[in-house]
Amino acid sequence: MNKAAMTLFQIRFINKAFWRNPASAFFTFAFPLMFLVIFTALLGGGEVRLGGRVIHQSTYYVAAMAAFAVITACYNNISIGLAFQRDAGVLKRTRGTPLPSAVFFGAKVMHALLVALLLVAITVTFGKVLYSAEIPTGASLFQFLVILVVGAASFCALGFAVTTVIPNADAAAPIVNATILPLLFLSGIFIPIGDNAPAWITWIARIFPVKHFADAIQAGFLGTTFRWSDVLIVGLWGLGALLVTLRFFSWEPRR
């Protein structure tokens, strides 16, 4: 069996395991929609100025929750899932099979990307029906798909990399949330960061990939300026995370 066939087989296996845990699958899809409803109910009646444009906050949150959905599927789920598999000895047993490491990680990325695409489609449709959000078309759609694929792959790589500092499964959720939640706030995912935001918030947020990913996703929805530099920075973070994974990833439980 060649690597392409092995990857497709592994994707099917991961997909079956994903849907056989209905509680996990449900909340993976429910969280972005829940937050979309909550934030638009609390804050969606106003407007925010971004890139010189005045945008209704309900539309803003559709784009923000699309970005959040990708990050949840590709960073949170992968890192926490790998930590539990490592503690249960699943990764050690997988390492002892003929399955190449590249196929194992590639299938994880591909499945996360498929889940992310489905999440974004559901979020966008939900926003279109309930909040009349605009759907990207033409050049915006192409740019949107590029940042979606690059972002999904990069956040998967970051999910692999963060497992190198997770000592055990019990610590997985606290560490993952501690590394991502502050960036979600600073990057304007939960609370809009307008043009008049303090400079230090923007400066700190732009060091990390979440802000660049959110800005590029929002550009497709909101018509703000799309910067290819955002795609580049997100990709560089993913490349750096991949190098960390190759060097420090552990297949065996840590004691």
Residue 5 has a pLDDT of 86
Segment 125-150, tens digit of pLDDT: 888 888 777 776 666 788 888 999 99
Residue 218 to residue 116: CA distance in whole angstroms:
16
pLDDT tens for each residue of 194-221: 666 778 888 888 999 999 999 998 887 7
Residue 138 pLDDT = 64
pTM, to two decimals: 0.90
90-113 confidence digits (pLDDT tens):
999 988 888 888 999 999 999 999
Higher pLDDT, 254 or 174: 174
Q: Quick one: pLDDT band at residue 181, thresholds 50, 70, 90?
A: very high
Alpha-carbon distance of 13 to 213, in angstroms, equals: 29
